[in-house]
């Protein structure tokens, strides 16, 4: 297995004899949303809290740690410093996410799209990728939001589709 085009790559990738796995947590032309307050607010909502609980003041990464600790969350065991590094890493990931430019790929693609996470004005997200793929593309529309793709219910659709694709690939005499 190999990655399609790593972030920042502009290489042209020809079809190969090995299946390709790509996990590009973004789409072409993603919007840059590096604002720390937006990121911390989103993280607070993800753990069941809201920025309004902080009396309108600016959030800091330590607020996330303290909230997790008060809630008795196992994530608090990461500690202040490590959790702060994770929040910083998320900001850096967003920078890479918005600078990602896929190369052209000529192999078969199994494209899994979260149906409830539109990118800007585009509702048919597969259109965003078509100019980069010259091989066959099988689109799998998963009934969930992007952040829920690895939850059990979406995985009940993703897992069998991947298994079928790999079985088909292996049946072609490849290993």
Segment 116-153, tens digit of pLDDT: 876 666 677 788 778 888 888 899 999 998 878 888 99
Rounded-to-integer distance, Cα 144 and Cα 8, Å: 28
Q: For residue 48, what is the DSSP state?
A: T
Task: Compute, in degrees rounded to 10, the torsion defined by CA atoms 129, 130, 131, 136.
Answer: 120
The pTM score is: 0.56
- pLDDT of amino acid 28: 57
- pLDDT of amino acid 155: 93
- pLDDT of amino acid 17: 54
Q: Which two tokens stand for residue 18?
A: 């090995």
Structure-token match 């297995």, residue found? 1
- pLDDT of amino acid 82: 92
Bridge partners for 113 per DSSP? 141
Domain ranges of the chain: 1-26+103-175, 36-98
- Block means of pLDDT (10 residues each) for the chain, length 175 residues? 35 49 53 74 89 92 94 91 87 75 84 79 76 88 87 93 92 72
- pLDDT of amino acid 33: 58
In 3-state terms, what secondary structure has residue 72? coil
């Amino acid at each position: 297995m190999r990655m399609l085009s790593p972030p920042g790559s502009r290489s042209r990738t020809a079809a190969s004899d090995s299946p390709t796995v790509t996990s590009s947590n973004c789409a072409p032309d993603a919007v840059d949303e590096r604002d720390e307050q937006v990121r911390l607010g989103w993280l607070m909502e993800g753990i069941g809290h809201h920025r309004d609980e902080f009396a309108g003041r600016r959030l800091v990464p330590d607020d996330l740690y303290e909230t997790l600790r008060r809630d008795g969350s196992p994530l608090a065991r990461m500690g202040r410093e490590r959790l702060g590094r994770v929040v910083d890493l998320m900001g850096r990931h967003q920078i890479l996410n918005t600078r990602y430019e896929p190369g052209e790929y000529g192999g078969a693609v199994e494209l899994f799209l979260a149906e409830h996470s539109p990118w800007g004005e585009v509702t048919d997200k597969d259109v965003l990728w078509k100019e980069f793929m010259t091989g066959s593309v099988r689109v799998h529309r998963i009934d969930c939001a992007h952040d829920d793709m690895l939850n059990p219910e979406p995985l009940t659709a993703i897992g069998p589709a991947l298994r079928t694709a790999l079985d088909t690939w292996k049946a072609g005499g490849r290993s």
